[in-house]
């Protein structure tokens, strides 16, 4: 009876951890969309809200970590159950980084004061954002359901994000060469595109966590990546 009681209590702790990660994931998804929306519409107020909301994501990450550590200390779980707890902490860490990257994009809203606003570049950034945001949603659903095939679809989709990012980068270079007055705007957009690409990397990290939770080992295959060397060398850091 004591074991059964402990098992039920552990299941309750695990369900609460999963719920907390899902709530944090929902906020992180919204931050991605709102950050890019603020950038596209040059909505300073929305950008400020994204920056302010990042502290809530940070607090959620700390709460998940504290809950996970407490669960390990109280329940002393078996190895298979321990993987789920470690998985929750790992996913929360990636979501916290996604929040930081969204905040970095939102901070650029104030900096963009150029009248230069080519629709082709903006549409490219929005397309890239839609793809990455859908990957984040899909991988969080896969995490909740322990759905390894769905997680691997996201893992294999990272190359597509890199390809869009590289294409957008080439367009930005063309605009900068055509008119030096475009350089400032294009550099800001380049920074944002790189941050969106990094958000995609964190979705891939979460897919690898799902693999670890289900299979009990790290994924051994090399992560599929597009050719981002030129982009990485030319793009300013955070």
Whether residue 233 lies inside any domain: the answer is no
pTM score of the predicted model: 0.88
Rg (CA), the chain: 20
Locus of tokens 């890239």:
128
Q: Where are the beta strands (DSSP E) in 14-155?
A: none
Spatial contact of 128 and 196, defined as CB atoms under 8 Å apart:
yes
Query: What pLDDT score does 238 carry?
Result: 44
Residue 220 lies in a domain: no
In a domain, 190, yes or no: yes
In a domain, 31, yes or no: yes
SS3 113: coil
110 found inside a domain: yes
| Domain count for the chain | 1
199 domain-assigned: yes
**Mind giving me the DSSP string for 165-188?**
HHHHHHHHHHHHHH-GGGHHHHHH
* Angle value at C-alpha 19, between 14 and 22, nearest 5 degrees: 130
Instruction: Determine, yes or no, domain membership for 227.
Output: no
pLDDT recorded at residue 237:
46
Q: What is the reported pLDDT for 76?
A: 81
Q: Cβ(92)–Cβ(61) under 8 Å?
A: yes
110: CATH:
1.20.58.220
Structural domain contains residue 223: no
Length of the chain: 238
Q: What's the confidence (pLDDT) of residue 19?
A: 95
Q: Given this model, what pLDDT does residue 95 score?
A: 98
Model pLDDT, residue 227: 53
Q: How does 221-231 read in b/e, with b if 16+ C-beta sit within 10 Å?
A: eeeeebebeeb
Residue-level pLDDT, tens digit, the chain, 238 residues: 344 545 777 788 889 999 999 999 999 999 999 999 999 998 999 999 999 999 999 999 999 999 999 998 887 878 778 899 999 999 999 999 999 999 999 999 988 866 667 788 889 899 999 999 999 999 999 999 999 999 999 999 988 888 999 999 999 999 899 988 888 888 999 999 999 999 999 999 999 999 999 999 988 777 776 554 444 444 444 4
Query: What are the distances in angstroms from CA 81 to CA 3, 14, 145, 216?
Result: 15, 9, 15, 10
pLDDT at 114: 65
Contact 105, 195 (CB under 8 A): yes
Please, what sign has the CA dihedral across residues 227, 149, 79, 16? positive
Query: Domain residues for 62?
Result: 1-215
């Amino acid at each position: 009876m004591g074991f059964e009681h402990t098992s039920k209590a552990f299941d309750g702790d695990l369900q609460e951890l999963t719920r907390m990660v899902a709530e944090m994931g929902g906020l992180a998804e919204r931050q991605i969309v709102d950050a890019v929306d603020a950038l596209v519409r040059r909505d300073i107020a929305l950008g400020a809200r994204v920056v302010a909301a990042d502290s809530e994501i940070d607090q959620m990450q700390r709460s998940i970590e504290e809950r996970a550590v407490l669960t390990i200390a109280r329940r002393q779980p078996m190895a298979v159950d321990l993987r789920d707890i470690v998985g929750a902490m790992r996913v929360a860490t990636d979501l916290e980084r996604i929040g930081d990257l969204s905040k970095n994009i939102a901070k650029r809203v104030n900096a963009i004061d150029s009248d230069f606003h080519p629709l082709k570049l903006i549409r490219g950034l929005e397309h890239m954002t839609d793809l990455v945001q859908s990957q984040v949603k899909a991988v969080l659903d896969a995490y909740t359901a322990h759905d390894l095939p769905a997680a691997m679809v996201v893992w294999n989709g990272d190359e597509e994000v890199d390809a869009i990012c590289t294409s957008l980068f080439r367009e930005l270079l063309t605009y900068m060469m055509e008119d030096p007055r475009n350089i400032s705007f294009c550099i800001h957009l380049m920074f944002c595109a790189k941050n969106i690409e990094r958000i995609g990397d964190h979705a891939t990290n979460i897919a690898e966590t799902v693999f670890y939770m289900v299979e009990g080992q790290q994924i051994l295959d090399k992560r599929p990546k597009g050719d981002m060397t030129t982009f990485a060398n030319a793009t300013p850091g955070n």
